[in-house]
């Protein structure tokens, strides 16, 4: 649709389309068969879509943060408690569900859940960085198209005034 600075750029990430950087505005408008206002409107619409996706990703990140422990229990932390020797523990799974696990199974389950949460958070952070990059590219493209239009209007306004003074 638009010319890009390099052909090795990412086309999309997890269904989020990559923004195309417009090198030459005149060529882009001719190829896409759009006028300046239509091109600006389509870029503004794409920018709003990116902002909406960013808000959704931030909400997912905010929901995922409580799944990660804020602190890690280490060997240096001691506490006095009187408990009976137990071969099992009860884990609260949510939705009014509590299950009894052996200590090894519980530890395995909790480690797996922590690893999954960290992996999901890592993917979300990557998606957020991608969407922020696309937002920036779209904003720069909007500015380039707008500035090109202003330059063209000034050039057109200057041409008739030169011919009027020659008469």
- Look up the CATH number of the domain holding residue 58: 1.10.287
Question: Is the confidence at residue 5, as pLDDT, over 50?
Answer: no
Structural domain range at position 114: 12-69+83-166
**Tally of structural domains, the chain:** 1
Residue 78 lies inside a defined structural domain of this protein: no
Residue 52 lies inside a defined structural domain of this protein: yes
DSSP for the chain, please give it: ----S-TTS-SEETTEEPPPP-S-HHHHHHHHT--HHHHHHHHHHHHHHHHHHHHHHHHHHHHHGGGS-SS---TT----------SEEEEEEETTEEEEEEHHHHHHHHHHHHHHHHHHHHHHHHHHHHHHHHHHHHHHHHHHHHHHHHHHHHHHHHHHHHHHHH-
Residue 133 lies inside a defined structural domain of this protein: yes
pLDDT in tens, 90-145: 888 778 899 999 989 988 998 898 899 899 999 999 999 999 999 999 999 999 99
Residue 77 lies inside a defined structural domain of this protein: no
pTM value?
0.72
């Amino acid at each position: 649709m638009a010319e890009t600075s390099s052909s090795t750029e990412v086309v999309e990430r997890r269904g989020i389309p990559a923004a195309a950087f417009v090198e030459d505005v005149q060529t882009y408008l001719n190829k896409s068969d759009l006028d300046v206002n239509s091109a600006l409107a389509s870029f503004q619409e794409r920018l709003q879509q990116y902002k909406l996706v960013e808000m959704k990703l931030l909400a997912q990140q905010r929901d995922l943060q409580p799944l990660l422990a804020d602190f890690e229990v280490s060997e240096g932390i001691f506490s006095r408690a009187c408990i009976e020797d137990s071969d099992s523990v009860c884990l609260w799974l949510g939705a009014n569900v509590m299950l009894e696990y052996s200590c090894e199974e519980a530890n395995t389950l909790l480690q797996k859940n922590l690893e999954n949460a960290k992996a999901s958070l890592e993917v979300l952070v990557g998606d957020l960085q991608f969407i922020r990059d696309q937002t920036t590219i779209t904003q720069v493209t909007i500015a380039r198209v707008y500035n090109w239009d202003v330059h063209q209007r000034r050039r057109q306004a200057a041409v008739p005034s030169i011919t009027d003074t020659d008469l």
